[in-house]
Structure 1
């Protein structure tokens, strides 16, 4: 599938930077919960790995997204965000206190908010209207590839060299990502800005009611995954008996399948509309949760991870939906808001999930989790209006 943007060089440079960010993210998300667990952390403390990070992301995504729209700049925020994460992981390499590790990891969200919504908005800026879904699908595929590579790389480094060396490795990844986009990246000339308005005006969304329905559906659906949160890997490690490397390989294969499918899903959503593929993402999560409940061997867990990873369709198609309905001067802010709602769901889900696991156990939580994406499907089907997509036909 050939890439079609107004500046392919910038697009490819952005993809490399985003890939490196998501490798870091995949390592942190999969390995830090195991590290906290091995340091004697409870399920609630393991859940805090997600909750603190996601809680800070709620505000940082919106703030940096609005700031990017206000000044009409993308590159400076992406480079700054990647570079600022570097020293945090250097500090983590010399820490063994559970709370300090959780807080340091959480603080990276202060700066990731400068990268994520801005990167998605930049792809929309670079894309012809009829290719927005396709190109956002490619970006989402790159992100998923990073998430897939992260756990297996993290598991191998942690098993061979230990966790302190792993955090030094992650720090170097972030520095390389900042350098790549500093050299290759640029802002497209067609970006408008709102610098003549007061900064507070950048936080206003003209299509808030439409975006709000999508965000509610996304947040509720995501609870089907976020309730399991970081305790899922602990469950696979303790209850099923998989090694750290095996857990990483499972994530790699599951997300690898999603990586291959997302550009195709994005392309189809450009042609046939967004709602069908939003629903498809939630259906995958339902069946993934059901499969996980009955999984006691490697093959069944692998199928469950593939299906659960395919919920990523919801995020990429949802982001394309947002770029369909908001003006250019609000894209980064709107995408930041979408990501912040995602963070709220992850934060609440991880805390509640940790409590439920402590009281009733992981199998009970897995059993009830499919109800949430089912509710999300109902919201999309009955309440969300189809966006108007400009296509080649």
Structure 2
């Protein structure tokens, strides 16, 4: 079931392709929704808010609801012992939500559809990451996580570029659908992306050979299987929770950039094109390095990459508040992308190493939830802190990354033994006697 130099299960490749198509469609909406609201196509009251503020509310409700639902969705898939059904369910919900935007003519409808979209993504993301974890082997988990996230980033980065062209190129005259506005075309493409993903998963993906839903328990949880405190006397915090906090801090630092575009453009005396290049530099580094860094973590260990990445985030984030030339910002953003790649895939792999007894959905949802919250909090933080100067948001992000590095260094232990691969983790579900006997690294 493996292909390529990264020993990639074909089902993981199918999941990656499906996630790319889904991400491409969903990322359309980052560009399209603000333009749709500003076009005058939306009528009715705006809850007493300005157009800019209600647009921010509609965009943000997705991130907050998506992150809030993920622990519940992860726990449900653990309890059911099935992943595929939750992935397909979430993608079907996304298809319906994305299509429904074409009928939304008021702010209440947009808000409700955006909320439904967040719920659909929550079920899809948690079950998909859990299934990737269970299909990977202990020796290839980091590389598989890196490849999967690379495909997602390609879709997410390509979507906004295509969306602008689709909207501006309308209206379109089609034989069956008649005349479509640029906005309707964008919404239909987003729906089609989710639908294609659902079909790909239905046809080409199956659950892991064996998923144990009887041991998805945690001796220190709050009813949802998320531990906060460590289970031993040597540490204060649970390692997966610690990785979640570090992911939150990383995401906040990454997401500071977009909200304060006018101030950055004024400082660097640049236009939207150069800002777009600077924004894309981060994604480019992620696309180039996620897979090789994830694979390297399978051989060299997870923790060194995570700590080094968080430490590298400190100067890379801080520099963005002090650069004076566009090329310097491009460089800082690229280095920040390198740092993010060093943290993201190894963190998911380490959490996957620690997820035993059918806990993949719950454990890994801590990281995906934290990252989603960070991307929602970051823009709000930079929007508030910019009043203290351009350096203030980036200084706060750098400080958060430094705290994250200290937490991981002191609270998280390595799960990979350099002489024989991961020791704290079972092999892929159904492939290891360690899994079958209920062996656990952290409990």
TM over 0.5: yes
C-alpha distance 94-104 of structure 1, shift in aligned 2 (>3 A): same
Q: Tell me if structure 2 keeps the 8 A contact 1:47–1:350.
A: no
Q: What SS is found at the alignment partner of 2:20?
A: helix
Q: What residue in structure 2 maps to residue 175 of structure 1?
A: 195
Distance 1:96 1:307 in 2: 42
**Larger deviation, residues 324-333 vs 342-351:** 342-351
Q: Tell me if structure 2 keeps the 8 A contact 1:129–1:390.
A: no
Distance 2:54 2:251 in 1: 21
Q: What residue in structure 2 maps to residue 27 of structure 1?
A: 28
TM-score with structure 1 setting the length: 0.84
Q: What residue in structure 1 maps to residue 253 of structure 2?
A: 224
RMSD: 3.3
Q: Tell me if structure 1 keeps the 8 A contact 2:90–2:121.
A: yes
Q: Tell me if structure 2 keeps the 8 A contact 1:117–1:339.
A: yes
Q: Tell me if structure 2 keeps the 8 A contact 1:51–1:346.
A: no
Alpha-carbon shift at residue 361 of structure 1 (Å): 6.2
Matched, 1:204 2:205: no
Bigger helix fraction: 1
**Larger deviation, residues 125-134 vs 29-38:** 29-38
Alpha-carbon shift at residue 158 of structure 1 (Å): 3.1
What whole-Å deviation, never above 9, does each CA across 1:326-361 have from its counterpart, x for those lacking one?
21410111111222222333333333333334x446
C-alpha distance 232-304 of structure 1, shift in aligned 2 (>3 A): farther
Distance 1:59 1:79 in 2: 20
Q: What residue in structure 1 maps to residue 350 of structure 2?
A: 321
Q: Tell me if structure 2 keeps the 8 A contact 1:71–1:195.
A: no
Q: Tell me if structure 2 keeps the 8 A contact 1:278–1:318.
A: yes
Q: What residue in structure 1 maps to residue 430 of structure 2?
A: none
Distance 1:354 1:224 in 2: 13
Q: What residue in structure 1 maps to residue 5 of structure 2?
A: 2
Q: What residue in structure 2 maps to residue 279 of structure 1?
A: 307
Alpha-carbon shift at residue 159 of structure 1 (Å): 3.5
Alpha-carbon shift at residue 173 of structure 1 (Å): 1.1
Distance 1:367 1:293 in 2: 7
Q: Specify which structure has the bigger relative contact order, considering alpha-carbon pairs within 8 angstroms and separated by 6 or more residues.
A: 1
Residue number among 77, 81, 100 corresponding to 1:72 in the alignment: 81
Q: Tell me if structure 2 keeps the 8 A contact 1:148–1:254.
A: no
C-alpha distance 363-196 of structure 1, shift in aligned 2 (>3 A): closer
Q: Tell me if structure 1 keeps the 8 A contact 2:167–2:183.
A: yes
Distance 1:52 1:111 in 2: 13
| Unpaired segments ≥5 residues, structure 1 | none
| Unpaired segments ≥5 residues, structure 2 | 41-49, 171-181, 232-236, 422-443
Alpha-carbon shift at residue 312 of structure 1 (Å): 4.0
Aligned residues: 385
Matched, 1:330 2:393: no
Alpha-carbon shift at residue 251 of structure 1 (Å): 4.5
